[in-house]
Structures are given as C-alpha cells and as structure tokens.
A and B are shown apart, each in its own frame.
Chain A
Amino acid sequence: MTYLLASVPLKLREIAPVGFVPMVALLVLLVEREIIRARPGQHRQQRTATKHVLSLAVFPLMVLFLLLAGLRFLTIHG
C-alpha cells in the first residue's frame, strides 16, 4: 500500500482492456436472462430462483459499468 505523490483531477482518460472483461461478462448474463425470460413452460418456483441468481450476478457488474460510464462522462463533459 503506497500513496501516490502526483494527484490529477478525477478523470478517466482511457479504459484499460481489462476494464472490458466485466462488461463482456455482464453482456453474457443479460443475454442469458432474456433467453430464460422468453423460454416458456418453466415452473414459477424455478423461474423465481433463476431470476434471483441472475440478479445477484448482474447487479455488481451493472454498478461497475455505471461507474465507468459516469467517470467517462465526467471526463468528456466535465
């Protein structure tokens, strides 16, 4: 753990390639959620469990995506 001497304004000038990995995972989960939602003939209990599991997985990745988007918006328009 170290402190950085130089301080720059709160800006995200570029997104590293590693930043796109959770976005791809988020995309996979969102597509899967839509496929499962459109699938007919599922039991109500099963559908609820599936929805809960996917929501727990999607939520943090969505927050990270919004954080990245917010920082980029601040950088461009701030």
Chain B
Amino acid sequence: MALSAVLTSPHRAARTSLLMGALAMAAALGGAEAVYRVAGAFWGAVCFAVVFLAIVQLALLVSARRPADRQLVALLAVASLVPLDRLLVLSAPTLPFLRLDPNALWVLPMGLAGVYAYQARWLLSKRRPLLRLAGPGRRPLAIQTAVAITGLALGVLGADAVAYTGPHALIYPDAAKWTGVALFALAGGVGELAWRGVLQPVAAEAAGPMGVVACFVASAYVSVAWMGFSAAGPVIVLSGLTSVVVYRTRCLSGAVAGGILLNLLMAMLR
C-alpha cells in the first residue's frame, strides 16, 4: 500500500510547505520590487501594501481554520513585517530638514512595531530580555562586545570604502542634521530588533536553521533595497554574524549595539 509523503514524514512535508511559502513570498516581493523600479514609488508601494495585506489575511485565515497552530499564525504575522518595511520606506514622508538621503523616517513606525512584536507573548513563549546576557561569566559578555566592535569596525570600513563625493556630515553643526543621523543610526538597531529579535526566533522555531537563513536573506534584501548594494555591504556582513550569534546565544544586545554603531559611523565618517 502506497502512503503519501505527508503520512510517512509529516515533519518533512511541513518543511516543504514552508519552503514553498517562502518562495511564493520571495516571488511576490520580487514582483513588487520590479514594479517599483519600473513604474515608480506609488505603484511599488501599492504592490507592497497588497503583499502585506495578503499575508495578514493568510494569517487570519490560518487562525480561523487552525486555531491550535499558533506557530504558523505567528510565522505569518511576523513575515508580514518584510513587505511592511518596504511599504514604510517608500511611503514615509521625505523631510529635507533631516538633511540625510535616504530618508530614515520610516524607522519610527518600524521600530515601534519591532518593540511591540518583541514584547508580544503570543509570538514566542520563551524570550530573553534584550539586554540580558546568555549566561554568567565573561564569555557571553565578550561575545556581545565582539559583535558590537565588529559593527563599529564595519561602520568605519563602510565609510571609507563606499564612494562618496558629497559634503561631510560634520559641516553643519545643527540639530536637524543630528536628528537625521540619529534616525539613520537607529535604523541599524531597528533592523536587528525586527529581523534578529522578532522574525528569526519565530522562523527558527518553525524551520530550524533554514529559518535563520531565510531571515538573513530577508534582512539583506531590505538593506539593499533601502541603501543600495554598495552601502548595504557592511550591513549584510554584520547581519550574517548577528544571525549566527543571536541563534546560538539568544541574546540581542550585541547585535542591536553593532547595528547602531555601524550606521552611526557610516553616516558620520564619510
């Protein structure tokens, strides 16, 4: 008697369906990105809004049909943060007051959403506080410090390596410029909080190391889409490191500090 793959290996079938879902989402995001490049910010934002609403609807559908499947509902809910990030980046108002381009005003709603999701008990039952180290002794502290220092070094490297011919950041000693730089620096921490603190644990719980890889790819995509490929290079390198460190230590403090330092130094030293 032939048995289906679902009956013989339900775990494998679940992994396959998660992989298919991730591929479908990647295709939808790729399509929306293509529309943005071809037709402009408005139609790009419309497409990202449609993808975002579609994922939310899917999460609602799963919660209605399979209320016991908390893990899948949580995964879909946090996966909606990816198109939401792109929607916010494209639609946040552009303020020349902040002096910095690309505009980082999207950080405020995205950061608050990240904090809200990070605090939400329904997404993950086991969650460590942001600033608590992985354990006693000097080793956990040394690991987090090393991640923060790596972010700092990548920021200096990025400021030096990325070609830039415009005016220096320190030309204008005004509050407006520092507000723009602070928002840009905050974007690094918000990214780490959203992708490593919220999406990665849920994805890892559902799909193991493959979830971590998918989360890294998602964070690299949003970085490139926002900053451009050359400026996002150091961010992607740090993302690769923080993905592994947060997965192994379940501690976010070094990743958030590293992300903030990287963006701060990249904005200030160039």
Binding site for B on A (CB under 8 A): 1-12, 15-19, 21-22, 24-25, 28-29, 32, 36, 43, 45-46, 48-50, 52-57, 59-61, 63-64, 67-68, 71
- Known A18-B45, A60-B113; contact A29-B56, beta-carbon cutoff 8 A: yes
Assess the A18–B59 pair: CB atoms within 8 A: no
On chain B, the residues within 8 Å of A57 by CB distance are 52, 56, 77, 80, 84
Q: DSSP class of A's interface residues: helix, strand, loop or mixed?
A: helix
On chain A, the residues within 8 Å of B109 by CB distance are 60-61, 63-64, 67
- Known A54-B56, A60-B112, A64-B91; contact A4-B231, beta-carbon cutoff 8 A: no
Binding site for A on B (CB under 8 A): 41-42, 45-46, 49, 52-53, 56, 59-60, 63-64, 67-68, 70, 73, 76-78, 80, 84, 87-88, 90-97, 99-102, 105-106, 108-110, 112-113, 116-117, 120, 122, 162, 164, 166-169, 171-172, 174, 176-177, 184, 227-228, 231, 266-267, 270
Chain B CB within 10 Å, residue with most, of A5, A10, A15, A18? A18
CB distance from A17 to the nearest CB of B (A): 5
CB distance from A57 to the nearest CB of B (A): 5
A68→B152 CA distance, assembly (Å): 33
Assess the B105–A67 pair: CB atoms within 8 A: yes
CB distance from A4 to the nearest CB of B (A): 5
Assess the B64–A46 pair: CB atoms within 8 A: yes
- Known A8-B96, A18-B42; contact A2-B166, beta-carbon cutoff 8 A: yes
Q: What are 8 A-to-B residue pairs whose CB atoms are below 8 Å?
A: A3-B169, A9-B97, A29-B53, A49-B122, A53-B73, A55-B116, A64-B108, A67-B93
Assess the B113–A10 pair: CB atoms within 8 A: no
Assess the B120–A1 pair: CB atoms within 8 A: no
- B59, B63, B116, B266: which contacts A46 (Cβ < 8 A)? B63
